[in-house]
């Protein structure tokens, strides 16, 4: 018996819904709820299973969430709305006795800043309620932490250097578009960079540090150092790590557009007064940019995301690279969505599957690397995200 309520009906949620539907032996009852019920109904229509229930909910409102959870009585809530809603959904889960899973850590609307402290503060309350909360179970964060946990379990006595490398070598044939929610994406990329070295966090200017890295089946791509949320939990959970960094590829065209967007003030998140109306420029920009959910049809190429790790095994220095490549067209054929939604939605479903199978179940608030990576790694291979390993190769970093 696996009764699940998924909140959100965007690109990631659509992929997770397809995968939940395909694993009906685990997920016996399924409801999709979002700000606009019609978006949930569209997903059900695309899947073609009328047994999936839908509902309208404003996930910023704890009382509405509680009413929905009390009515539907899910065992677990999968939060695939936006990072702004993490705390309200966690509050409602505590009030209604529901387990919780998400793919992105909490971010306040009025400050482009993310860190785990807000959600980790719920640990004791989830423990006392006997409820499991699984944080950051997409690809990065998510699979990046599971890859690290798998490396630590099987291939290293000590991890010393961790580089998470995220390449999207796809072409959607638009002048400028983001691959997931534009507002969240632009807030993330325009922040200062941050990495961990010898017990300190080192801040950089946005996109200041970059290198050319070679990705399997893709080739060389310029890769930029960004702050990314999983670094915070990974350096805490693996204290032998001396250096931890996150790299993401961007093309020249993308960076030029981003620079213009910033220079003309369209990336601002503070409201402005426009003809007597309050408008947040970045939210207005989101409304005119291509919808990431509609990029799939003409998207060519693939993503490649992995962990490059240096450390010690049996007294010898060792390098290890574990990665997945995902083709946008294959993701589109299966789910109607592009590869970035696919690589996030599939792990969210697998995390929930781990919970329902009793493999990832412990009261408290946890990051993915706090659980056994082995059954999750097996499912990645079965559910459309196969991974590969390189031992002793040149990490380029
Ligand atoms: P979308 O913007 O496509 O989808 C978000 C969905 O949440 C939309 O259906 C939206 O409703 C709904 N929503 C927004 N606000 C509310 C609200 N107040 N109440 C109820 N529903 C609401 O985003 P994505 O699908 O691209 O991303 C989903 C999540 O996944 C985000 O948190 C994102 O940060 C995360 N992510 C994680 C990644 C990882 O690897 N870990 C990678 C990519 C994304 P409406 O349709 O009406 O706007």
pLDDT digits (tens, 9 = 90+) for 283-322: 999 999 999 999 999 999 999 999 999 999 999 999 999 9
Q: Provide the CA 383 distance to its chain's centre, in angstroms.
A: 17
Q: Is 13 in the pocket of ligand 1 (CB under 6 A)?
A: yes
2-135 and 143-337+386-391: identical CATH topology: no
**Mutation test residue for ligand 1: of 14, 35, 287, the one with most atoms within 8 Å of CB:** 35
For ligand 1, atom 14, which residue shows the shortest CA distance?
81
Q: From the CA of 395, how far away is ligand 1's center (Å)?
A: 33
182 Cβ closer than 6 Å to some ligand 1 atom:
no
All structural domains of the chain with their residue ranges? 2-135, 143-337+386-391
Give 319 Cα–ligand 1 centroid separation in angstroms.
Answer: 36
d(CA 352, CA 366): 13
HEC readout, 179-221:
CCCHHHHHHHHCCCEEEEECCEEEEECCCCCEEEEEECCCEEE
Cα 304 to averaged position of ligand 1 atoms, centre (Å)? 22
Predicted pLDDT at 111: 86
Residue 215: the pLDDT is 98
Average pLDDT score over residue span 60-79: 98
- pLDDT > 80? residue 1: no
Task: Give the model confidence (pLDDT) of 329-381 as tens digits.
Answer: 999 999 999 999 999 999 999 999 999 999 999 999 999 999 999 999 999 99
| 3-state secondary structure (DSSP) of residue 232 | helix
Q: Is 392 exposed, middle or buried (0-12, 13-18, 19+ CB in 10 A)?
A: exposed
Determine the average pLDDT of the residues in 81-90.
Answer: 97
**What is the pLDDT of the chain when averaged over all its residues?**
97
CATH fold of 143-337+386-391 reads Dihydrodipicolinate Reductase; domain 2 (3.30.360)
Which ligand 1 atom is nearest residue 39's CA? 46
Please tell me the distance from the alpha carbon of residue 326 to that of residue 179, in angstroms, as a whole number. 14
For the chain, the 3-state helix, strand and coil shares in percent, each to the nearest 5, are: 40, 30, 35
Residue 114 has pLDDT above 90, yes or no: no
Q: Match domain 2-135 to its CATH number in 3.40.50.970, 3.40.47.10, 3.40.50.720, 3.30.70.1400.
A: 3.40.50.720
How much distance in Å is there from the Cα of 52 to the middle of ligand 1?
Answer: 20
Q: Which secondary-structure segment (H or E) carries 247? A: strand 243-249
């Amino acid at each position: 018996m696996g009764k699940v309520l998924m909140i959100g009906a965007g690109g990631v949620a659509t992929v997770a819904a397809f995968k939940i539907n395909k694993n009906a032996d685990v997920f016996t009852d399924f409801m999709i709820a979002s700000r606009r019920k019609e978006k949930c109904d569209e997903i059900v229509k695309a899947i073609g299973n009328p047994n999936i229930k839908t509902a309208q909910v404003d996930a910023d409102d704890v009382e509405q969430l509680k009413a929905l959870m009390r009515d539907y009585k899910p065992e677990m809530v999968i939060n695939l709305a936006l990072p702004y809603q993490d705390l309200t959904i966690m509050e409602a889960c505590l009030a209604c006795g529901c387990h919780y899973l998400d793919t992105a850590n909490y971010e306040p609307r009025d400050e482009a800043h993310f860190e785990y402290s807000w959600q980790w503060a719920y640990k004791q309350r989830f423990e006392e309620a006997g409820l499991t909360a699984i944080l950051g179970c997409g690809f990065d964060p998510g699979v990046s932490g599971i890859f690290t946990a798998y490396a630590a379990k099987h291939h290293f006595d000590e991890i010393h250097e961790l580089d998470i490398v995220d390449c999207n070598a796809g072409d959607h044939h638009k002048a400028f578009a983001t691959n997931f929610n534009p507002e969240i994406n632009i807030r993330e990329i325009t922040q200062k960079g941050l990495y961990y070295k010898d017990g300190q966090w080192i801040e950089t200017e946005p996109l200041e540090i970059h290198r050319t890295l070679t990705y399997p089946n893709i080739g060389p791509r310029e890769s930029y150092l960004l702050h990314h949320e999983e670094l915070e939990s990974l350096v805490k959970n693996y204290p032998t790590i001396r250096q931890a960094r996150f790299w993401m590829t961007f093309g020249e065209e993308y960076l030029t557009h981003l620079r213009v967007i910033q220079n003309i003030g369209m990336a601002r998140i503070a409201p402005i007064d426009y003809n007597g109306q309050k408008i947040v420029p970045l939210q207005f920009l989101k409304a005119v940019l291509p919808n990431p959910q509609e990029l799939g049809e003409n998207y060519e190429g693939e993503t490649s995301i992995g962990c490059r790790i240096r450390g010690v095994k049996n007294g010898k220095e060792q390098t290890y690279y574990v990665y997945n490549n995902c083709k946008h067209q294959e993701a589109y054929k299966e789910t109607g969505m592009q590869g970035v939604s696919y690589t996030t939605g599939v792990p969210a479903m697998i995390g929930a599957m781990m919970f329902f199978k009793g493999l990832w179940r412990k009261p408290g608030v946890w990051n993915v690397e706090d659980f056994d990576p082995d059954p999750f790694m097996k499912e990645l291979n079965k559910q459309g995200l196969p991974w590969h390993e390189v031992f002793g190769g040149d990490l380029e970093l």
